[in-house]
Chains A and B, each alone.
Chain A
Amino acid sequence: MTDRRPKIVGFCCEKHGADAAVLAARSGKHIDASVRLVQVPCTGRIDGIHLLSALEEGADAVFVLGCLEKNCYYDTGSIEGRKRVGYVKQVLAEAGIEKERVEMFNAASTNAWAFPEAAAKMVEVAKRLGPIGGGEK
């Protein structure tokens, strides 16, 4: 096992995902990892290249946290986000990289558990798989 803390990047929409993260922070949830939060206007605006870039720049796992699909602020934004995540999974598989390194999650802004839970899942994935290529960028 590596003693290095997993590097996770979470893309959160500013309507629900980021609020849920803030709420979690206020309630004092602790995560044993380096989790970077990238706030975006809507997960529907995330492109595959954003997710891939995060992995390329050294993240071990990446997740997207958007609105609940039936309650998306921009109606279908988080559905688009899910499709992008699906496409990136396909590209990763083609490149021989574990596709579990990218996941989509949904939450309402009041779900204090959502962000820590998503992060914890990705930390588990990152610990299990280790850094891509043994950590050398």
Chain B
Amino acid sequence: MIVAKRKPLGEIAEMLASYKKVTVIGCRSCVAICLAGGEKEVKMLVSALKIRNRKEGKRQDFEGLVVERQCEKEWVKEVEDKILGSDITLSMACSLGAQTIGDMYPKHLTFPGLNTGIFGVPEEQGVWSEKCVGCGDCIIHTTGGICPISRCAKSMLNGPCGGSADRKCEVNLEVECAWAAIYDRLKLQNRLDLIERITPAKDWSTSHSGGRRVFVREDAKLTQHQKKGKEVVL
């Protein structure tokens, strides 16, 4: 899932300082699961901002609400009046949610309440770790099911580097060396021959390096005719 983290309260308060009426919108998808921007987090943020304002003798109106999935227009549309009825919207979804609102209401201000971080996995309760960077050309069948691009600090395809000690990453001694993990996994699978093979220069054009990516499923797209029909229904 997409893992995000709330911005520091002071930074949020500063962003919103000159606006009277603020709508805070959370999301019930990824950011709710990672405890950054779900219903509880929206409520807590609104409450904390109110208490802060009381201390500073400032007045602002806050309204907090949550939508099912903020990156989808249909769900955002349901709270349109709340968005447009405010001076500013603080999105407590990932940047995708914030941008969806921004794209739908380009004249209205929508600011991010979260820092969107990683494609991550909950390792244990309260801990999420990065395991993919979306390079667009998955190779984990050759690396024991472990992604070296996201899990190695140097994205090495022929690791490990010379800095790994006690099977830890030299960049962060709390983190397991991705290539130590790959070695163990391949050994377990009796496929160590794979690690002796040279993985040649990677074609990064499928990644963000190739420019902004748009994935299309032609069969799922609506035809002009279907789009017209849908407009009538709406």
Instruction: Report yes or no: B44 in contact with A94, Cβ–Cβ below 8 A.
Output: no
Query: Considering only CB atoms and an 8 Å cut-off, how many residues of chain B contact the other chain?
Result: 18
| Set B9, B13, B50, B57: member contacting A91, Cβ < 8 A | B9
| Set A48, A52, A133: member contacting B57, Cβ < 8 A | A133
Instruction: Report yes or no: A49 in contact with B47, Cβ–Cβ below 8 A.
Output: yes
Q: Whole-angstrom distance between the alpha carbons of A108 and B146 in the complex?
A: 49
Instruction: Report yes or no: A48 in contact with B54, Cβ–Cβ below 8 A.
Output: no
| Set A49, A55, A95, A134: member contacting B43, Cβ < 8 A | A49
| Set A47, A96, A133, A136: member contacting B40, Cβ < 8 A | A47
* A92 adjacent to chain B (CB < 8 Å): yes
| Set A94, A132, A133: member contacting B9, Cβ < 8 A | A94
Q: Give A29 Cβ to nearest chain B Cβ, in Å.
A: 30
Instruction: Report yes or no: A97 in contact with B52, Cβ–Cβ below 8 A.
Output: yes
Q: Give B50 Cβ to nearest chain A Cβ, in Å.
A: 5
Instruction: Report yes or no: B52 in contact with A49, Cβ–Cβ below 8 A.
Output: no
The size bracket of the interface on A is 10 to 19
Q: Give B186 Cβ to nearest chain A Cβ, in Å.
A: 39
* A124 adjacent to chain B (CB < 8 Å): no
Residues on B with beta carbons closer than 8 Å to the beta carbon of A56: 47, 50-51, 54
Instruction: Report yes or no: B44 in contact with A97, Cβ–Cβ below 8 A.
Output: no
Q: Give B220 Cβ to nearest chain A Cβ, in Å.
A: 39
Q: Whole-angstrom distance between the alpha carbons of A56 and B53 in the complex?
A: 10
Instruction: Report yes or no: A52 in contact with B48, Cβ–Cβ below 8 A.
Output: yes
Residues on B with beta carbons closer than 8 Å to the beta carbon of A133: 53-57
Interface string of A114-137 (1 = CB under 8 A from B): 000000000000000000111011
Residue of A nearest to B10 (CB): A94
Residues on A with beta carbons closer than 8 Å to the beta carbon of B57: 133-134, 136
Residues on A with beta carbons closer than 8 Å to the beta carbon of B211: none
Q: Whole-angstrom distance between the alpha carbons of A53 and B13 in the complex?
A: 18
Q: Which 8 A-B pairs have the closest CB atoms?
A: A94-B9, A133-B54, A95-B52, A52-B47, A133-B55, A49-B43, A95-B48, A56-B47
Interface residues, chain B, with chain A CB atoms under 8 Å away: 8-10, 13, 40, 43-44, 47-57
